[in-house]
Structure 1
Amino acid sequence: MLRKLELSTNEHAEMIDVTEKVRTYVKEEGLDHGAVIVYSPHTTAGITVNENADPNVQHDMLMRLDEVYPWEHEKYRHAEGNSASHLKASTMGTEQTIIVEQGELVLGTWQGIYFCEFDGPRPRTFYIKGLSDV
């Protein structure tokens, strides 16, 4: 079943750990074997899987994305002035697929699932869809 979740971001750019929300979905849906898709319907936010043990990893990722895609650039043409957010979201991607085995997310020891905000703060949504093995 498709589930829509809402969250509010607090910073202009941040990575919010949504791993437990995805685990809760897997348990509530009784998904034993298959996969889940975690999807962002936004053009200035994305979904990624990365380390969740050390918060400095998220800091470093956001810092480096700012260096690669600065907020202001003399050649940007997008009228809203948030071209950097679009570039960052496309770099992260809109979705991640995570395998589910024996009712558990198949993630590495240090991995977590993140909603990545690049144009906040604002209310956001994301979706989770379970795919069961037949």
Structure 2
Amino acid sequence: MSWYQSTISLSRRSRGCYLITDEILQKVPQVGEYKIGLLTLFIQHTSAALTLNENWDSDVQLDMTDALEKIAPESWNYRHDAEGRDDMPAHIRSSLIGATVTIPIRNGKLATGTWQGIWLCEFRRSVHTRHVVATIQGEKFSS
């Protein structure tokens, strides 16, 4: 059993849901060294989230953004508003979606379904850089 871990910075983005599979694979090329294993991604923030979802039709990303804005709207009278009106709704959305995704690795590739991709859900209006801890555990290819 072999382990690998690094912290990566994602491209700066503002509110929305973004397909980041290619960016993850570019920044964590070590995935290709594993015959079998698990890639766990953990976002180190409370106003953004990671999930697996549709990787083909970008309308899904827009619809998800709209739906989450209806579930936790900025218009509510939240107590916590020290960082702006979009902060507390961002915390709620982050808790609903989650901070971690775990994806199987098979023969040096992510074993996602045909239409699955890794998403960053950014819930703040202003542009942010987000940091993700990537951990791989598994069996490497024999050398």
Query: TM-score surpassing 0.5?
Result: yes
Unaligned runs of 5+ in 1: none
Secondary structure, counterpart of 2:91 in structure 1: helix
Identity value in percent:
29
The Cα shift of 1:23 comes to: 3.0
Aligned length: 132
Alignment partners' CA distance in 2, 1:20 and 1:40: 17
In structure 2, what is the Cα distance between the partners aligned to 1:17 and 1:72? 28
* Secondary structure in structure 2 of the residue aligned to 1:32: strand
Q: Match for 1:124 among 118, 130, 139? A: 130
* Equivalent in the alignment of 1:44: 47
Note if 1:78 corresponds to 2:80: yes
Q: Kindly indicate whether the alpha-carbon contact (under 8 Å) linking 2:40 and 2:136 is maintained by their aligned counterparts in 1.
A: yes
Runs of at least 5 residues in structure 2 that lack an aligned partner in the other structure: none
Matched, 1:99 2:104: yes
Q: Among 64, 68, 76, which residue is 2:67 paired with?
A: 64
**SS in structure 2 opposite 1:123?**
coil
RMSD: 1.8
- Residue aligning to 2:113: 108
Q: CA deviation at 1:26?
A: 4.8
Q: Partners in 2 of 1:67 and 1:125 — Cα distance?
A: 27
TM-score, scaled to structure 1: 0.89
